[in-house]
Chain A
Amino acid sequence: MLTNRKSLWWLLGPPVVYLAALPLANRIEPIVLGLPFLMFWLVVATLLSPLFVWLAAKGDPVWAAARRAERAQAGKQ
């Protein structure tokens, strides 16, 4: 289930940006887009999370195989 799915390491992205970076982000200054920095950073992390999952899927042979199966299915109909 995990062989050849190295891209799944990208799924560690969300815990890294939300949690490992927290000691650096836990501050009010600088204020970005009117938001105190901690809140701004958590918004950034929330926008990055889907990107990490997308990167995981992009290199994932299981995802690619399922895509091919879907296209074949659509072609048949």
Chain B
Amino acid sequence: MNNAAVSIGILALFLVAAVVLGIRAARGQDKVDLAEWSIGGRSLGIVMTLVLMAGETYTSFSYLGAAGWSYTYGASGLYLVAYLSIGMAVSYLVGPLLWGYAHRHGLHNITDLVAHRFAAPWLGAVVAVVATVFLLPYIQLQITGMGTVVASVSYGAIGLGLSYLVAFLISEVFILASGLRGSAWVSVLKDITVVVTLAVVFVYVPLKFFGGYGELMNRLITERPAWLTLPGPKGDTYGMAWFISTALLNGAVYSVLPTSVAGFLGARSAQTLRRNAMILPFYQLLLFIPVLLGMAATFVVPGLKNSNLAMFEMIRAEMPPWLLGVIGAAGDSLLSASRR
């Protein structure tokens, strides 16, 4: 069997497992109504809320984009870690407020909340339109990421156009069929896959290409110093002022993003959200790995046109196909879990 068949087979297996898991999770309910679909019947405990919020937060961007970013622009990609930690702190206060209000009045999403709180249906409609319009590029980004993974994992056997189509169909079927509870369960699958694959790659890449973690860091410090501080190798754009303002803005609004609100409202209690705000920041430690690997890729695969593939290109030539399939599955399940 050739490499592409093995890796695509593994990827397909994971995606089918994800869809089945999502649909089964949704079917276990007594009644399937909109509240169940959109916010899981307000029943998710701390563990499921944690993995769900992690699923909402860690998308293809964290996995591929962070590596691609640091490949091109260096350490400024860590603004992601900063804004998420700030956002979690804000969510300690804002999450329970939104949850409490929605719970008292039986509301399901940010649109309902706004319309009800300000007694202005038109304002709710404006929020719905704005949220939809501005989520579209985000969704397009996710589909692009997912398609890129499929094309890359197939060693180019499946073209990009077809990959986008496959990615789109899988996620639409998944979203409509499973709802929030399905997302939460797929997030469990995703979290396990992501943590394991990141750990494997994190150990493997320095050893294989640099002779160890210390050697990798030494080479970065001596040969890529511009990558290790702000503003990075490309000049002033991503300097300190950019880092601070971007992290503050994103951190401040993280709690009212429609995807975050959906996660909040699915929680069993306001206290669950306060615990979530306390625990979830630890998950951010994982994001340092793709950032480091992106920098390592500047040695292994220099001059890439599509920097988002930095991590994949680096490991594709050296890793067994089945492992590439699993890594692709981790990337793709991130998307289907987060894309709601």
Contacts and interface: CB of A to CB of B under 8 A. Distances in A.
Nearest to B87: A14
Contact of A46 (B220, B243, B281): B281
Contacts of B81: 18, 42, 46
Given A22-B243, A46-B285, A57 B93 contact: no
B251 A70 contact: no
Contacts of B96: 62
B228 A28 contact: yes
Interface string A14-34: 110011001100111001001
Given A15-B89, A23-B240, A31-B217, 20 more contacts: A8-B92, A14-B82, A14-B251, A19-B243, A22-B243, A27-B229, A28-B225, A34-B213, A36-B217, A38-B75, A38-B229, A39-B288, A42-B288, A43-B285, A43-B288, A45-B82, A52-B89, A53-B92, A56-B89, A70-B269
Interface in B290-309: 292
Given A31-B221, A45-B82, A38 B230 contact: yes
B93 A45 contact: no
A15 B284 CA distance: 15
Interface of A: 1, 8, 11-15, 18-19, 22-23, 26-28, 31, 34-36, 38-39, 42-43, 45-47, 49-50, 52-54, 56-57, 62-63, 66-67, 70
A33 to B, nearest CB: 10
Interface string B297-330: 0000000000000000000000000000000000
Contact of A67 (B85, B89, B271, B277): B271
A54 B269 CA distance: 18
A8 B97 CA distance: 14
Contacts of A12: 89
B258 to A, nearest CB: 22
A18 B85 contact: yes
A45 B86 CA distance: 10
Contacts of B288: 39, 42-43, 46
B85 A26 contact: no
B281 A11 contact: no
B248 interface: yes
Nearest to B231: A26
13 contacts: A15-B86, A19-B86, A28-B221, A34-B213, A38-B229, A39-B78, A39-B292, A42-B78, A43-B288, A53-B278, A56-B89, A57-B92, A57-B274
Interface string B195-231: 0000000000000000001100100110001001110
B120 interface: no
Contacts of B75: 38-39
B34 interface: no
Given A46-B285, A66-B270, A56 B92 contact: yes
Given A18-B86, A54-B278, A66-B270, A38 B92 contact: no
Contact of A11 (B93, B228, B284): B93
A11 B229 contact: no
A13 B78 CA distance: 18
Contacts of A31: 217, 221
A26 B240 contact: yes
B88 interface: yes
A63 B240 contact: no
B157 interface: no
Contacts of A22: 230, 240, 243-244
B240 A45 contact: no
